[in-house]
Structure 1
Amino acid sequence: MLDAVHRDIPIFAICLGAQVLAAAAGGSVSRAKTSEIGIYDISPTTEGASDPIFALAAPSPVAQWHEDEVAALPAGATLLASSELCMNQVYRIGSTQYAVQFHPEVDSSIIHTWEEHADNAFIESGKSSVESEVKMAEEALFAAWKPVVQNWGRLVLASVLV
């Protein structure tokens, strides 16, 4: 992964991937004080509001499922969004490596599968289910993250055409 960073290859790291990217690039990962399981809002930084991929203008809903977090960003990384419980929700390294602590790819059917195969994060959250919470938020999640995925696709396409 660090080789991809040095070669400026586009990366979109999700959850554990964001943690691996941070650790590989010189940041650190630790157990979160409080796990995030379910729907939470993240708030953009000034840089996040003007970022060409994320362009978050206001707090946005995200689906979370983690008990570890990026405790310290790698040197030179740019923080793009945070939540009340997790400071480093979205960050960028350079101009093509992005990382998110949350799960923009999930919907309620994926959450249903995760609940069936409960991991420590879910068990220790004390929640019996978040499937309905995610189901109720699906429209807002799709509206918030579809433009980001489209922007990301354009970035990847532009890097291939160079």
Structure 2
Amino acid sequence: MRKRAHILQHVPFEGPGSIGPWLEAAGYAATRTRFFESAALPAADDVDLLVVMGGPMSVNDEPLHPWLADEKRFVRAAMEAGTPVLGICLGAQLMAAALGAAVRPNGEKEIGWFPVEGLAGGGGDGALFSFPPSTEVFHWHGETFDLPPGAVRLASSRACANQAFQYGERAIGLQFHLETTPETAREIVAHCRDELVPARFVQAESDLLSAPPARYAAINGLMGRILAWLTRPAV
């Protein structure tokens, strides 16, 4: 029986990107909750890997999107059960909120290709995922999260202190996007172009979309390493 990955998707234009081919190659059958169509969630014990995608809404928008409350409970239950959980941008903020941390506007909007720094000591004994010292990654966010109680910060940047965290042995939240492909970058620009207001950490559309193929390959490769680490066999 194939392992089951379930993807929580909040808007049509923020799909799994490079995660899809990784899941197929790793032998997962992928299902989705598309909150823009239906808020139905699977039974938590039917999921072997949970991926929580990004979106333009805030985790604090429950009056506008009542399904956010059920989603947070579902994400928390998965983390507490030890199910591998990966959250991306809004997904990481949902993980943090589900664990009791505040989500709030960041001091700077961060949109475009900017480096994140892996923090020293993140994984020498294999207990924590270890990021490279510096990696240029794709960002698109205006909010940030406080570090949840019991979580470990894994990466940071000049614009945003909490770029990645790990909770327990099988849950990682990423404020940035490693799943981005040229196609998904064009999609988010097409739908969110109004956010490209010049600022210190907001790139122009032409710069944002002119990244060479090698840059996408690098972040997609790192995404694959995180997924492989989260789903590694138990020791």
Q: TM-score scaled to structure 2, two decimals?
A: 0.59
Distance across 1 between alignment mates of 2:182 and 2:229: 27
Partner of 2:115: 41
Aligned residues: 158
The one of the two structures with greater contact order (alpha-carbon pairs below 8 A, sep at least 6) is 1
Distance across 2 between alignment mates of 1:135 and 1:124: 18
Distance across 2 between alignment mates of 1:128 and 1:95: 35
Q: Secondary structure at the match of 1:78?
A: strand
Change (3 A) 1:66 1:156: same
Alignment of 1:1-162 (within 5 A): 1-48=75-122, 50=124, 52=126, 54-70=129-145, 72-118=146-192, 122-125=195-198, 129-130=204-205, 132-156=207-231, 158=233
Change (3 A) 1:107 1:6: same
Structure with higher Rg: it is: 2
Paired AA for residue 115 in structure 1: V
Distance across 2 between alignment mates of 1:96 and 1:117: 32
Q: Specify every segment of 5 or more residues in structure 1 that has no aligned partner in the other structure, as ranges.
A: none
Q: Specify every segment of 5 or more residues in structure 2 that has no aligned partner in the other structure, as ranges.
A: 1-74
Q: TM-score scaled to structure 1, two decimals?
A: 0.83
Distance across 2 between alignment mates of 1:32 and 1:51: 32
Residue 46 of structure 1 deviates from its aligned partner by 1.6
Residue 109 of structure 1 deviates from its aligned partner by 2.2
- Percent identical pairs in the alignment equals 27
Q: Secondary structure at the match of 1:4?
A: helix
Report which of the two has the higher share of helix: 1
Residues 78 and 93 in structure 1, CA contact (< 8 A), matched pair in contact too = yes
